[in-house]
A and B are shown apart, each in its own frame.
Chain A
Amino acid sequence: MAQQIARPSLGHPRVLDRARARPAVESYSPTRSDPWTALWFLLPSLLGLILFLVVPLVASLVLSFTNWQIIGQARFVGFSNYVNLTTRDPIFWQVVANTVLFTVEYLLLNIGIALGLAVWISRLSWGKRFFRLAFFLPTFMPMVGIALVWQLMLTPRGLVDGVIALTGLGLPNVLAESTLALQALVLLTLWSHVGYNLMLFGAALESIPESYLDAAAIDGASGWQNFWLIKLPMISPSLFFGTVLTAITTLQAFDQVYALTRGGPGSSTATLGYAIYNQGFVTYKMGYASALAWILFALIMLLTIMQLRLQRRWVHYDQ
């Protein structure tokens, strides 16, 4: 029973160990041509990854140490892009703060709401599938289209404004107000993507064997005890997977920023993803933008490593 559930997910050491320890080789047909066959099978993906991922990755690191601007001679400038960014750039720290604030706030809300809704829906006796589907609907839709709809609702004299005006209160122009604009981005991103984690946690909750909850009932466990002592530990691998994936994608937020606020007002909603685009493809400072991109990459690695370390404290892998 226990083996059907809570299998290790991406990033768990055991999956990786397995990949190392048992690379799917057994005694039958140990043909000598295997390495060559493997090479042919891997060639398309290897070539693609090298050409369109490894080479650009290395090139971007090199670029980040130059002052490349499309036109003119590129010069090697050492660490000066990084130094300028962190000491002279008027908006760099604001952009970092925006990105971190956006990610942390969004991550907490997303995981909290997705988990709450998943547990709520799992307790219902009808309509589970429909409710999950409803929340999932925006997930496969373009963020740009979604941002346009929210822009229409939030724009001055738009729906939100109009409804609040009916109550006699005025609403400041949400998208022109620096603190509110970032909250609008959080709200729109939640609306568009909370459904994915809801599905993920919902599937994990359904995979908890009845026998566990029956046993708890015999022991007289309360609803809260069921949640904290059985459900939460049992779905912790999915919680972990969802958290890591959501964090990686949220740090890169770009589409909704571009479509809803273009980083404004001022640069109050400019995220790192938006700043990279802006430096690289609006002002054509490719070297400078590459340095920014590597700072984003470093932030992603840092957060992922932190989460991998923390997982030992709270994620339960049942074997």
Chain B
Amino acid sequence: MTSDVIDTRPWPRAMRAGLHGGMVLLVATFLFPFFWMVSNALRTDAEIFAVPPRLLPDSWEWGNFSAAWSYLPFGQFFLNSMLVAAAITAIVLVVSSLAAYAFARLRFPGNGGLFLLYLATLMVPQAVIVIPLFLMMSAIGWVDTYQALIIPMAFSSFGTFLLRQFFLTIPRELEEAALIDGATRLRILLTVFVPLARPALGLLALFTFTGQWNSFLWPLIVINGPEHATIPLGLTLFQGQQGIEWNYMMAGATISMLPGFLLTVLLHRFIFKGIAIGSGLGGR
């Protein structure tokens, strides 16, 4: 927080009011596309391109949401996305905690070098590996399956990096007693590190879940039909239909944004702190 003593001087009172007013206007403009999406999701198809454009629907067609839900199997897409994002998040949490503990606390030859290699993998673009990955999936018969959506995407080293930074800040004294008592390393990880690192684990879960919920390229490549399609892929199936039903599309888009909306609103303080930790500001 900056000090008021300094900050008031360059900005006279009128200017401060202007700064607030301007920001309110800016935010209202920024949020407009959300309003437009929901407003169009609740219209009849005929009203979408009304001249002149109308801000609010004439008749509120709440039925559009259930219609979109069955127009394409949107309920299925929603469940698929939930399943895939949750499964990947669970695997990432376990795998990253184990690796992060090794890098933060265990002595083994090449610790530093291997960690650098893990870091370097973050630079590899997804577009480079998806072609061989697809060939792999078709070789083992996994194309158009849940496991193809889940398993290859569950091993990013971002989590290992994030958790290692956090584990390094945990004082050694906390585990020494347990070590002397002969506790295994796994037990120490579970009983000392995991409870203390809950904020970092929560942050990793949040980023992984939303990232996977939004993921598009890999499902587009490895999934063939609506049965295993996730929400972003399902939305583009709407696009492919003859004559776009814009009201249903907007209803679908609204549904696709709900989890992200809820998570952001509920966890915004946590996100603000977490982004600082993730960038190394609050870690070490």
- A-side residues, CB < 8 A to B, are 5-10, 12, 15-16, 19-21, 23-26, 28-30, 34-35, 37-39, 41-42, 44-46, 48-49, 51-53, 55-57, 59-60, 63, 120-127, 129, 131-137, 139-146, 148-150, 152-153, 157-159, 162-163, 165-166, 191, 196, 199-200, 202-208, 210, 213-214, 216-217, 221-223, 226, 237-238, 241-242, 248, 251-252, 254-255, 258-259, 272-273, 276-277, 280-281, 286, 289-290, 293-294, 296-297, 300-301, 304
Residue interface mask B106-121, A partner, CB < 8 A = 1: 1111011111101101
* A294 and B264 alpha carbons, distance in the complex (Å): 35
- With A7-B280, A223-B10, A293-B125: A28-B179 Cβ-Cβ less than 8 Å: yes
Tell yes or no: B46 within 8 A of A by CB.
Answer: no
- With A7-B281, A142-B235: A52-B152 Cβ-Cβ less than 8 Å: yes
In the bound complex, residues from chain A placing their C-beta under 8 Å from that of B67 are none
Number of A-B contacts (CB under 8 A): 355
In the bound complex, residues from chain A placing their C-beta under 8 Å from that of B179 are 28-29
**Main SS at interface, chain B:** helix
Residue interface mask B161-176, A partner, CB < 8 A = 1: 1000000100010001
In the bound complex, residues from chain A placing their C-beta under 8 Å from that of B121 are 49, 53
Partner of A162, one of B19, B53, B103, B112: B53
Tell yes or no: B2 within 8 A of A by CB.
Answer: yes
In the bound complex, residues from chain A placing their C-beta under 8 Å from that of B1 are 206, 210
Tell yes or no: B194 within 8 A of A by CB.
Answer: no
* A153 and B236 alpha carbons, distance in the complex (Å): 17
* A157 and B51 alpha carbons, distance in the complex (Å): 8
In order of increasing CB-CB distance, the 7 nearest A-B pairs are: A48-B155, A9-B280, A223-B10, A140-B260, A20-B112, A59-B132, A203-B276
Partner of B31, one of A7, A53, A137, A202: A137
Partner of B106, one of A6, A38, A158, A251: A38
- With A124-B23, A277-B127: A56-B217 Cβ-Cβ less than 8 Å: no
In the bound complex, residues from chain A placing their C-beta under 8 Å from that of B279 are 9-10, 200, 237-238, 241-242
Q: Assess the B129–A57 pair: CB atoms within 8 A.
A: yes
Within the complex, what minimum Cβ distance (angstroms) separates B149 from chain A? 13
A-B contact pairs, 15 of them (CB 8 A): A6-B281, A7-B283, A24-B168, A37-B185, A45-B160, A49-B118, A49-B121, A53-B129, A55-B136, A132-B272, A152-B246, A163-B53, A204-B276, A241-B280, A277-B220
* A25 and B48 alpha carbons, distance in the complex (Å): 65
In the bound complex, residues from chain A placing their C-beta under 8 Å from that of B239 are 148, 259
Tell yes or no: B71 within 8 A of A by CB.
Answer: no
In the bound complex, residues from chain A placing their C-beta under 8 Å from that of B152 are 51-52
Q: Assess the B23–A208 pair: CB atoms within 8 A.
A: no
Q: Assess the B129–A38 pair: CB atoms within 8 A.
A: no
Q: Assess the A152–B10 pair: CB atoms within 8 A.
A: no
Partner of B2, one of A122, A139, A202: A122
**Main SS at interface, chain A:** helix
Within the complex, what minimum Cβ distance (angstroms) separates A247 from chain B? 11
Partner of B268, one of A129, A146, A237, A300: A129
Partner of B11, one of A6, A123, A150: A123
Q: Assess the A294–B98 pair: CB atoms within 8 A.
A: no
Tell yes or no: B36 within 8 A of A by CB.
Answer: yes
17 further A-B contacts with Cβ under 8 Å, apart from A140-B213, A159-B53, A162-B53, are A5-B281, A7-B283, A10-B279, A23-B111, A56-B130, A63-B131, A122-B2, A133-B268, A140-B261, A203-B275, A217-B3, A217-B6, A254-B127, A259-B236, A276-B131, A277-B221, A296-B128
In the bound complex, residues from chain B placing their C-beta under 8 Å from that of A20 are 112-113, 116
Tell yes or no: B253 within 8 A of A by CB.
Answer: yes
* A297 and B121 alpha carbons, distance in the complex (Å): 12
- With A25-B107, A35-B107, A142-B235: A196-B275 Cβ-Cβ less than 8 Å: yes
Please name the residue on chain A nearest to B50 by beta carbon: A162
Within the complex, what minimum Cβ distance (angstroms) separates A72 from chain B? 14
Q: Assess the B250–A148 pair: CB atoms within 8 A.
A: yes
* A142 and B209 alpha carbons, distance in the complex (Å): 12
Q: Which of B1-24 contact A (CB under 8 A)?
A: 1-3, 5-7, 9-11, 16, 19-20, 23-24
In the bound complex, residues from chain A placing their C-beta under 8 Å from that of B269 are 129
Please name the residue on chain B nearest to A148 by beta carbon: B253
In the bound complex, residues from chain B placing their C-beta under 8 Å from that of A242 are 279
